[in-house]
Every structure is written in C-alpha cells, then in structure tokens.
Structure 1
Amino acid sequence: MESQQSAGSNMDNGYVSGDNEAQMLSSGAKRGGWITFFFVSATLTGLMIAGWGWLTNLIVYLIEEFNVESIDATQIANVVNGSINMIPIIGAVLADSFLGSFHVVSISSGFSLLGMVLLTLTATLSSLRPQQCETGSSFCHGPSKLQSASLYAGITMASIGLGVVRFTLATLGANQFDNPKDQGIFFNWFFFTFYAACVISSLVIVYVQDSISWGLGFGLCAAANFIGLIIFLLGNRFYRHDKPQGSPFTSLARVIVAAVQKRNILLPSESKDYYHEQDGTSKTVATTPKRSFRFLNRAALKTEGDIHSDGSIAKSRRICTVQQVEDLKTLIRIFPVWASTVFLATPIAIQTNMTVLQALAMDRHLGPNFKIPAGSIVVVVLISTAIFIALLDRFLFPTWQKLTGRSITPLQRIGIGHVFNIMSMAISALVESRRLKIAHDHHLQEQQGAIVPMLSLWLFPQLVIVGIGEAFHFPGNVSLYYQEFPVSMKSTATAMISIVVGIAFYVSTALVDLIRNVTRWLPADINDGRLDNLYWTFVVLGLLNFGYYLVCAKLYKYQNPEEEVER
C-alpha cells in the first residue's frame, strides 16, 4: 500500500499518507498518531454498545417477543452471528480496493443506525410483533409476514453495520502508525475498548431490555450508534487516509493464470530474468523469487512480448511482478494456520448460545430482588477478556520479555488460546452434567421449561476461561494477519479472523442440526437432553485441532521477522 511505503516522508511534511498531492492540515499538525485513538476508540465504544446491545439479547428477544422455540432461536442467532462475521470481508475488499477505510466505516455505521431504528419500532409498535404468550404454550402464534419482514430487515441492516465496522475501523486505526510496535499496542487497546464497550452494553442495555422496556433498550442502542458516528466524522481532519489500490485479488488471480500459461518454461536462477516493476512506476528491491512454491515463480518470468520497451507490462495476463508472486505465496503459507482457527471458534460459537439456554433453565437470582438477565451471562467472557488483555499488555508480556529476552509471538498467543478453549469445553461439560443430574433428581425433565434449583453462577468459571483464551488468540490472530499479509490487503488482513468466526457459526449451525437429527442430545427442553455430551465432543475435536495447529505453527516461517523482533 502506497500509504505504508511513503508514510515516513509524508508524515514528516504533514501530508496525508497515500496521496500524491500535498494535503497539509490548515493547522500544520500532522495526521495520524495517537491523537486519532481517541476518535477511533470513542467511535468503537458507541457502535459496539449499539451492536452488542441487540445481538447479545437476540435469543431472548426471539423467544419472549416473537414466540420462537428455544433451539430454533439459537439457530437463528447462529446464522446472524455467522453473517455478521462474514460481512467484514466485503467491507475489507471495498476499503482496500475502492472506497478506503474512512468511507466504508461511515457508510456501514449509517446502515447500522437504520437497522437500530427499525428494531426499535418492532419493540415499540404492537402491530410489528405477535401477541405474547407463555413460553412453551401450544397456543402461541408466530409472527406474520409483515412482522417477520420488519424484524429481519432491521437485523440485516444492523448486522451489516456491526459486521463491517469492527475490523475496518481496526485497520483505519492501525494505519495511523508506522512503527509495528505501536500497531501491536494499538491492537491490544483497540480490543480492550471493544470488550469494555460490550461489557457496558451487556450489563446496562440488556438489563433495560429485560427489566424496563425492549423499546427503550433498542432506543439507547440507536442513540449510542448515532453518537459514535458523529464522533467518527469529527475526527476526519486528524486521520491519515489510505488510498485504495484496486482489487488485490485481481493481481493474485493473474499470478495463477500467468504461471499456468508458462508452465512448460524452465526457471532461470538470475534476478534479471524476473519482472520487478510495480505498476510501471515504483520499484522494489531486485531479488530472485523464493524457492518455495517454485511453480508460481513462472508468473514473474520475463518472456518475449511480455514487456514494452519502456518497461511497462504489455500482456497483463502473462506477466506479474515478483512482489505479486510472493504475496500469493504468503497467503498460501498462512492458510493452514488460518484454517485451524475454525475449530477454535466453533465451540465458542455453540457455547455462547447454549449458555443462554442453560441460564434460562437455572436459578438466576442474586439476592431476593435481583435476577440476572439470561442474555447478560456472556458478559463474563467480555469482562474476563478485557481484564486479561490489559494484564497481558501491561504486565505479563513485559515480564515474559524480561525473563526470556524475546517478545511472545502471535503464533504462541494463538496456541495458548487453543489450550484455554479446550479447558473451557471440559469445564462446560462437567457443569452441565451436574445441572442435568439435579434436574433428573427433581424429575424436572418431565416439566416443560422448569427451572433447575442450581445457581447460574456455576456457569461463570467456564466463561472466565473462554475470556482468558480470547485475550490470547483474538488479538494474536489479528496481529499475525496484519503483520504477514501483503500491504495492499491490510483491511482484508484484519477481517480474516472475522471470516473464521463467521464460518464457525455456520459450522456450529450445521453441527447442531446434525446432532439434533441423529441423537437426542438437544430436544426442545434441554433438561431432557444431553448437552454435556456435545461439550465433550468438542473437547475431543479441540484436542485434535490443537495437534494440527502445532504442526502448522512449527512449519510456518514469519515473512517479516524483523518486525516481529520489534514487537
């Protein structure tokens, strides 16, 4: 990305990085740097309070206000979560290729605001939701076509905003810094802000929705979204804007096409035989392509008729630059590591929704007058993650560096996250086994929707462990992809973990459907099921996946080792 290559010179002169023309601030102040973190973090806070406020309580809203059966509600939530985590790749492509991060964040925030307004209307206008009935009653009526259309239209628009903003905003923030160490610190505090905002939303917004009014709760989400959008726009004069470079996927596809067309040509060993120009203007250091995936090196091999006399490309489908070839190789190398994260995130996706169902079937009282909202149970994960991100950044990682003389690498962080994830699944299975035993001892499996006399506080340890794991692997994944991906794909890089989470939610939906069809573990009433067996299944799958990850991590070589040392 041109903004990265010329950042030093542009910033020294007060220019906007990535632009060829001088764009001095009227005040003479430099763009970028830590001053932008206030605007980025404030924007993130407002948008996450809004987005998490409706998403975390969606299952309860569907069950209580739209008369959806419990397992069906979790399946809908899985699809919504999956979509939210797949959408960022669209925003990333638009940001990298056409619009830039600033415009993508602005537009998607507007979509989110419209969605929140529509969800608020479904909660306040009785004509937009079905008549209420007792949970589990056979006389419940589902929503009409108009009511369903209003609900899902609001969810869709809110999902677009929530999905795109998080990671595109992360890229915009990281682009404000030139030093990889500053970028690493930014990611740590970006995700701390992310989780802290979600904690506020899970405690305050969800409580308002459950105890006061769904309409007021969604209205507060809309207000937070609006404030976040305004703050983001006010910070425009301080941002260093990235310049879209055109679709990087096109150049990657050209590498494959060119390599196939030249498959029968012998590979030379001299650097002069390869094409090193960048778009016919800028140049990279003239080096021979690396020996790994040598077949692709043919794409950069100069043959007769490929290059004009002035050095520009004559046949774009037959010749690529050495850098483009190496960019594709980087993506191929990192793919196995990326794929291992799918089964790291799948158990978390299932656990998040199933924990809400467990909480609904347990005693949620704290004292005689307060009852924990079921949708707020997962706030334990957010609190745990936020606390441990801060502890890791301020104490544990610096201590590790002093003791060993080396910084902990992103791959090591991800590996530790795998271990904690397996631990959380095992604890979940043990807790659910105890809950089912109490339910059977009291013959509650024979009573639809009965509350098991077991405090929901028993769910907290497993959620704390999940949070600790996320504090390791979530920022670790984002840092790894941002560091290793080609400079033209920085927005795509930060969205890669989101794609994994999205796939994980889709996989979890398919697995739940499969398990419902071939076993009796997940009936409509979980007191009559064996949710503990589902958790034990993921303990086994987690162990197998962790073994696969260790192999991938052992074989992987960092493409930017000098940056890794700086971190």
Structure 2
Amino acid sequence: MEAPSEAQLPRRTGGWITFPFIIASSVGLTLAFGGWTNNLIVYLIKEFDVESIDAAQISNLVNGAGSLIPVGAAIIADSFLGCFSTIWISSIISLLGTILLALTATVDSLRPKPCEVGSTSCTPKPKVQYVVLYAAIVLATLGSGGTRSTLSTIGADQLADKPKDQGIFFNWFFFFLYSASVIASTAIVYVEDNVSWKVGFFICVAANVLGSTIFLMGSRFYAKFKPEGSPFTSLARVVVASITKRHVQLPSTAQDFFQGCNLAPKSLAVVPSKTFRFLNRAAIISEGDIKSDGSISNRWRLCSVQEVEDFKTLIKILPLWSSSFFLGTTIGVQLSFSVLQALAMDRHLGSHFQIPAGSVLVFVLISTALFLALFDKLLFPMWTNLTGKSLTPLQRIGVGHVINFVSMGVSGLVESKRLNVAKSNEGHNIVAMSVLWLVPQLALNGIAEAFHYPGQVSLYYQEFPITLKNMATAMISVLVGIAFYLTAALIDVVRRTSTWLPGNINNGRLDSVYWVLVVGGVVNFGYYLTCAWYYKYQNLNEVDHNETPPDE
C-alpha cells in the first residue's frame, strides 16, 4: 500500500506526538552501539588476544564504517525504502549483530581459552571464533549505521510544516544523543570491565530491543512519505550527461540550455557560469532530449542549468572539505591510542574505584558539550562585542585546526613523560603514571571539535544550494569515515616503516607519532588557510560582508 501524500495525511500523524518514540528509539540504539564500540579495543585485547595496535586498527575501521554507512542508508531511504522501512530493517540487523557479539562472551565454544600460567605456547584458537566475532561486529555496525542519520531525518519530517519546531527537535535530538553516548561510555563500559562482558553486552542487546520496539510502537503516529530520490543521483546525472555530450559544442545563448520543466524559458533563461565549463554540456538541449509534451526523454542525458550550477558549488567547496581529512585522521589516532595509553596507566580513583580504559574518551564528549554551551552563552557574544563582527564558519574551523595540533603536541609531551615513568619503573613495584594525565589532551580534542565540527556543518548548510541542503550532514559523515580509514592506513605505514608502534606501547615511541602529527597538522593548517583565502562565499547575504577569512 502506497504512503499517502502530505495533503492526504490524517491529522493524527506527524507532529510532536512522535517525539517520545523517536527520541527513545535513538537513545536505545545509541546505548546499544556505544556500549560495545567504546570498549571494543579492550575486549579484543583481553578476551581474544588481539595485539593492541591491531585492536586499535579494528576500532578505527568500525568507526569509519559507522560514519560512511549512514550516507549509504540515507541514499537508500531517499531513493527506495523511505526512512521508516530503513530504520526498522537496520535495527533488526543491529540486534542480530549485538546478540551474536553477546554470545561470543557467553558461549564457551565461541570464546578463546586463556593460556595456562607459565606455559610457553598457547593452543591455536579456532578460526570459527574469529569468524563469529567479526561477523557480529560487521552486522552490529551495519545496522547501527542504517539508523543513525535516518532517525533524525524521520523526526524532522514529522515537523515539515514547522521549520522553527524542526530546530527545537534537532537541539533535543542531539542532546539526548550525546547523553546516551556518555552513559554508554561510562556506565555500560564499567559493567563490562567490573561485572562481566556477558552482562554488559546483554545490556546492549536489551537497549537495542527496547529502542526497536518503541520505534515500531509509534508507527501509527508517523507521517510516512514516499521516497523522492537522493541528491546524489542528481549529481551523478550531471557527470554522466556532461561526459555523454563531451563532443557537443558549447552554445552561447541561454535558449540552448535546459532551464527546467517548471520555468518559463524566455523570462528566466540563464547561461551557465563559465567556471568548470565542461559540465555545462549536461544542460545543452540536443535533438531528442525533449518530448513533444515538454518532458525529458532521458534524465541521464539532460540536466537543468540549476542542477549543473549546484554541482559546481559542490566542487568549489571540495578543497576546504579535503583540508579536514588530516584533521579527522589526527583525532582518530589520538582517540584509539588514548585507550591503549589508559590500559598502561594507573586508572584508580581512590582505593576502590578504577576508571575503565574505554571510558577515558568521555572527557572528549564532556568538554565538547561544555564548550558548546560556553560558546553560545559567553564566548561568541564576547567576540561580537569586542570586534563588532560575528565569527564566520571559516574562522571557527580555522581555530579548530589550531587547537587540534596543539592537542597533538600535548599528547606528545604526556606520552614522553609516560614512557620515561614506565621505563624507570620497569622491574620495580612502583605505581604507574595516573590516567588523569590524559585529560588535558582529550579536553583539548573536545574543544577543537566544538569549534570545527559545528563550523563545518554551518558552512555547508550556508553555502549549499537549497536542493543540496541535506548533503551537509552527509559531507561530515563521509569526511569522518574517510578520516578513520586514513588513520588505519597511517598506523599501518608507521608500523611497517619504523619501530615506533610495537605490540607493547611501552617498548615503542608513540610520542614520536604524535610529534609527526603536530608537524602534519601545521602543514595542513597552511593548506586550509590557502583554501580559505581563495574561497568566495556563495551566499553573501548570510555572511557579514565586513568579515575576513580566518587567515588574517
């Protein structure tokens, strides 16, 4: 049965009545995913004897996939299934993966047997155990990624006729999302470390079941819309059409370009801009492109001028976008190695409480949340009063770059001190360096994120044309996903070309890795300043005309 159009929807569907169902679903599914991913490195090392650096690599791959999969899920939802179907199918896939992961901590035949004390060799572990483990990780990651972006989209769809309410929805949606992430990285991780992995993972299963069930319970209240196609399809059509017509000579008159089916050609006809002129061929009207009724005979051979210009806007912003690849890579390295550092440090607070290694990353979330609040209420108004100008997205991203490589420098200093303490204490019964030494670098990481992440979202939403506004979040997700894969590649290169990252980080030089990232961060910042200097805002009405790029 086809979903009714917006005009035919019963009055009981949509609106704020759907808010509790969507928020509860998001909290449950976030608890389920965060509960095992935040402690994945520790689980792989302690229960499956995976080498520490390999465990960090697997974590990077999972985090990368967790950011790229939502983009694919959004395309599927927009083009084929719709948000509702995509969410409930993905939640079931996530549940299957989480159950399978819980079984690896429960069923003896799926758990590697620990080596006997004093034994010089261990019994080879059955490959089926690792097949089940990695299958569980893949399914749980795939399912979680399928719900991450679509839940926020279906929530906004319920308030489609109230844009101001959509803004309120997003504020609360991300508040509960961050809150659930904090709970997952502290309470659930604590249970896994101090009670048992089995109990912790089954808490994740229960959270997944609860989130999925509540989402389905709200089905009768949701406004469900038919898929209208993905903006990525429009971009792909511009590329295909321009290549197909690569031998067609470019005309000079606006009447030779397709303006769109709903525009009056004589009054609104325009010639595409001269930048990236090759793409203009996608809008040239050739024989057979237009039917007798005025419709397009093949949408992969003819695009409107607006579609071509939208694609050019995307190309112009790509250099700025690419400058954040290295930024994300340094963050990925720091987050994964901070857990390994925590495992080698004293994590006791008092005589009875020990901080789980996977929970140290909560300091990033806390500092991000705190500084976002400070920016809104104190720092941004103070900046405006002092300069008479508001902080532009480019300036905000630039500050994030600087704080990021400063954070890497602090990481290098702390790791140098940790290595010295570890080596001086080797063979002696002396307490290791406190894990609280990691707080400054993680806090700086969170502050940098509070600058550059919202700055990038703001820039993309401001600069993208209306038809591509939904791509702003996708651009961030793709960026984060690629950055985590670049993190894995960088670590692999360092392992192959140096002795800095052995299985035991106490025998390596992780501090040297951090200092290389500092140098790379400074160089990358120079690249960013160059891109920002040459970039011209597309939507000048949304920017203070007196403001300058962040490189001055």
Are positions 1:523 and 2:502 aligned together? Answer: yes
Deviations 1:462-511 (A, max 9, x none): 00111111222223333444554465655554232222222222211121
Alignment partner, residue 448 of structure 2: 469
Please identify, of 468-477 and 67-76, the stretch whose mean Cα deviation from structure 2 is larger: 468-477
1:115 aligns with 2:97: yes
| 1:142-191 deviation digits (Å, cap 9, x = unpaired) | 64222112211211111012223222333334444567776666555543
List aligned pairs for 1:298-447, cutoff 5 A: 298-397=281-380, 400=383, 407-443=390-426
Residue of structure 2 equivalent to 1:157: 139
Q: Distance in 1 between matches of 2:171 and 2:314?
A: 24
Structure 1 residue runs of 4 or more that deviate by more than 6 Å after TM superposition: 134-137, 178-182, 279-284
Structure 1 residue identity aligned to 2:10: L
* 1:417 and 1:472 in contact (8 A); partners too: yes
| Cα distance in structure 1, aligned partners of 2:266 and 2:21 | 35
- The answer to whether 1:71 aligns with 2:53 is yes
After TM superposition, the structure 1 stretch with the greater mean CA deviation from structure 2, 488-497 or 151-160, is: 488-497
Residue 58, structure 1, aligned to residue 44, structure 2: no
Please state how far the C-alpha of 1:358 moved relative to its aligned partner: 0.7
Q: 1:62 to 1:21 in 2, by over 3 A?
A: closer
Q: Which runs of 5+ in 1 are unaligned?
A: 1-15
Query: Which of 248, 270, 278 is the equivalent residue of 1:295?
Result: 278
2:480 equivalent in structure 1: 501
Aligned to 2:517: 538
Distance of 1:498 and 1:315 partners within structure 2: 32
2:7 is aligned to: 22
- What is the rounded CA distance, in whole Å, between the counterparts of 2:349 and 2:236 in structure 1? 58
Question: Offset at 1:107?
Answer: 1.7
Distance 1:477 1:236 in 2: 34
What corresponds to 1:92 in structure 2?
A: 74
Change (3 A) 1:45 1:443: same
| Distance change in 2, residues 1:558/1:102 (3 Å) | farther
Q: How many residues align?
A: 542
Structure 2: distance between partners of 1:354 and 1:504: 15
Partner SS for 2:432: strand
Q: Equivalent of 2:86, from 92, 95, 104?
A: 104
1:169 paired with 2:148, answer no
Write out per-residue CA displacement over residues 403-431 of structure 1, whole angstroms, 9 at most, x where no aligned residue: 66665443333222212211110110000
Aligned counterpart, 1:41: 23
CA contact (8 A) 1:346 1:507 kept: yes
2:211 is matched by which residue type in structure 1? G
Contact (CA 8 Å) 2:261, 2:295: kept in 1 or not?
Answer: no
Rounded Cα–Cα distance in structure 1 between residues aligned with 2:331 and 2:308: 36
Note the C-alpha offset of 1:278. Answer: 4.5
Q: Secondary structure at the match of 1:168?
A: helix
| Alpha-carbon distance between aligned partners in 1 of 2:161 and 2:392, rounded to the nearest angstrom | 19
- Match of 2:433, SS state, is strand
**1:213 aligns to what?**
196
Tell me: CA distance 1:344–1:35, structure 2 relative to 1, closer, same or farther (3 Å): farther
The answer on whether the counterparts of 2:261 and 2:294 sit within 8 Å (CA) in structure 1 is no
CA distance in 1, matches of 2:382, 2:162: 22
- Which secondary structure does the structure 2 equivalent of 1:124 belong to? coil
Aligned pairs for 1:443-462 within 5 A? 443=426, 453-462=432-441
Aligned partners of 1:92 and 1:491 also within 8 Å: no
**Contact 2:6 2:225 (C-alpha < 8 Å) held by counterparts:** no
CA distance in 1, matches of 2:29, 2:87: 11
Q: Distance in 1 between matches of 2:42 and 2:541?
A: 49
Q: 8 Å contact 1:82–1:502 — kept in the other structure?
A: yes
Residue among 145, 149, 152 paired with 2:127: 145
Deviation at 1:102, TM superposition (A): 2.7
For residue 351 of structure 1, report the CA deviation from its aligned partner: 1.0
Worse overlay, 452-461 or 221-230: 221-230
CA distance in 2: counterparts of 1:79 and 1:244, whole angstroms: 30
1:92–1:492 contact (8 Å) kept in structure 2: no
Superposed CA RMSD in Å reads: 3.2
Partner residue of 1:13? Answer: none
1:336-391 deviations in Å (ceiling 9; x for gaps): 22212211111111111111111111111111111111111111111112222333
Measure, in 1, the Cα distance between the counterparts of 2:28 and 2:528: 36
Shift of 1:230: 2.8
Q: Distance in 2 between matches of 1:433 and 1:538?
A: 15
Deviates more, 1:315-324 or 1:488-497: 488-497
Contact map agreement 2:71 2:149 (CA 8 A) in 1: no
Q: Secondary structure at the match of 2:499?
A: coil
Tell me the CA shift for residue 231 of structure 1.
3.0
Tell me: CA distance 1:149–1:233, structure 2 relative to 1, closer, same or farther (3 Å): same
After TM superposition, the score normalised by the length of structure 2 is 0.88
Matching residue of 1:512 = 491
Q: Does 1:553 align with 2:532?
A: yes
Given that 1:52 and 1:198 are in contact with CA atoms closer than 8 Å, whether structure 2 keeps it comes out as: yes
Aligned to 1:252: 235
The CA distance in 2 between the partners of 1:252 and 1:150, in whole Å, is: 39
| 1:171–1:494 CA contact under 8 A, matched in 2 | no
CA distance in 2, matches of 1:209, 1:476: 36
Find the counterpart in structure 1 of residue 550 from structure 2.
none
Q: Is the 8 A contact 1:96 1:488 kept in 2?
A: no
CA distance in 2: counterparts of 1:126 and 1:469, whole angstroms:
44
Structure 2: where are the runs of 5+ without partners? 545-552
- Residue 412 to residue 495, structure 1, CA distance change in 2 (3 Å): same
Query: Structure 1 length as normaliser, TM-score?
Result: 0.86
Q: Distance in 2 between matches of 1:48 and 1:135?
A: 39
**SS across alignment from 1:363:** coil
CA distance in 1, matches of 2:538, 2:165: 19
2:542 and 2:165 map into 1 onto residues whose CA distance is 11
Residues 187-196 or 525-534, more deviating: 187-196
Displacement after TM superposition at 1:79 (Å):
2.0
How far apart are 1:44 and its partner, in Å?
Answer: 2.2
Once the two structures are superposed, what CA deviation does each residue of 1:105-155 show, in whole Å capped at 9, x if it has no partner?
A: 222122111211111111122221111248997544464222112211211
Q: Give the stretch that moved more between structures: 450-459 or 348-357.
A: 450-459
In 2, Cα distance between the equivalents of 1:97 and 1:81? 25
